[in-house]
A = this chain, B = another copy of it.
Amino acid sequence: MRVKLTIEYDGTNYAGWQRQENALAVQQVVEEALFRLTGKPHAVTGASRTDAGVHAFGQVAHFDAQSRIPAEKYAYALNTVLPADVRIRDSRAVAEDFHARFSAKGKWYCYSIFNDAHASAILRNTHAHVMYPLDVDAMRREAQCAVGRHDFRAFAASGSVVKDTVRTIHSIEIARQGKCVSMQVRGNGFLYNMVRILAGTLIGVGTGKLEGGAVRRALASGSRLDLGVTAPACGLTLMEVFYDA
């Protein structure tokens, strides 16, 4: 039986999703929890390789169950052995050909900013601190240039080896609530660091450090140099992964 997990984690203390040699990753923590629960090794495949410090409210993963635990009980059982900064939000049986990564039709990321002269104590691990006032209208105008189907190779981290760099961004919504500014980005897929480079560029335009039109120029030139810095990992949260029903 193939089981789909929806996983929330506070990425602060992890080296990202993907299992690593010398640092603790969320994938390893979930696989070890499955081992503690069943006494059998399980490989858990995630939809998104979130970076160190990046959070998830709705990471999705699948594994092939090696026990008779009903699929919907895995969430309850795993949460009794997982650390408090990793929670299974949902578990359910899926078709044998479901694949967390390859079946994904789209993703929703949220980038969160605390915009004030002084950083936030309470939100320090989940919001990037921007000390200069953000012009949210300018950010919205800039963001609209990224919406649609484009070759986003300028938005890929240097050293990235993906061949097809065409992606579709469905929508970018930017909202201010007091000192917090959030960017909700939905698309059919994202290159490595793409959302953080987009966020850093919009922050640059929002503070006036970067000239408006940067996204348009970068889409035309394909050059990473036309864009802003990569925004800090802590501001990024993978909210949801979309699949065909």
A interface residues, Cβ below 8 angstroms from B: 8-10, 55, 57, 75-76, 79, 84-89, 116-122, 124, 126, 237
Q: Judging by beta carbons under 8 Å apart, are B120 and A8 in contact?
A: yes
Contact of A85 among B76, B87, B88, B121 (CB under 8 A): B121
Residues of chain B within 8 A (CB-CB) of A89 are 116, 118
Contact of A120 among B75, B87, B121 (CB under 8 A): B87
Contact of A8 among B86, B87, B122 (CB under 8 A): B122
Interface pairs A-B: 6 shortest CB-CB? A87-B121, A8-B121, A10-B122, A10-B121, A85-B121, A9-B121
Nearest-neighbour CB distance to chain B for A125, whole angstroms, equals 9
Instruction: Jot down 6 A-B pairs with beta carbons below 8 A, ordered by A.
Output: A8-B121, A79-B118, A79-B119, A84-B121, A85-B124, A87-B118
Residues of chain B within 8 A (CB-CB) of A8 are 120-122
Residues of chain B within 8 A (CB-CB) of A55 are 122
Report the bound CA distance from A55 to B237 in whole Å: 23
Report the bound CA distance from A76 to B118 in whole Å: 8
Report the bound CA distance from A120 to B84 in whole Å: 8
Report the bound CA distance from A116 to B124 in whole Å: 25
Q: Which residue of B lies closest to A12 (CB)?
A: B122
Residues of chain B within 8 A (CB-CB) of A120 are 8, 87
Assuming A79-B119, A88-B118, what are 7 further A-B pairs, CB within 8 angstroms? A8-B121, A10-B124, A57-B122, A75-B117, A84-B119, A87-B120, A89-B118
Contact of A126 among B79, B118, B122 (CB under 8 A): B122
Report the bound CA distance from A75 to B75 in whole Å: 45
Residues of chain B within 8 A (CB-CB) of A79 are 118-119
Q: Which residue of B lies closest to A57 (CB)?
A: B122
Nearest-neighbour CB distance to chain B for A77, whole angstroms, equals 11
Residues of chain B within 8 A (CB-CB) of A121 are 8-10, 84-87
Take A79-B119, A118-B75, A118-B79 as given contacts and tell me if A124 and B237 are in contact as well, using a CB distance cutoff of 8 Å. Answer: no
**Residue among A9, A57, A237 having the largest count of chain B Cβ atoms under 10 Å:** A57
Residues of chain B within 8 A (CB-CB) of A86 are 121
Residues of chain B within 8 A (CB-CB) of A76 are 117-118
Residues of chain B within 8 A (CB-CB) of A84 are 119, 121, 124
Report the bound CA distance from A17 to B65 in whole Å: 48
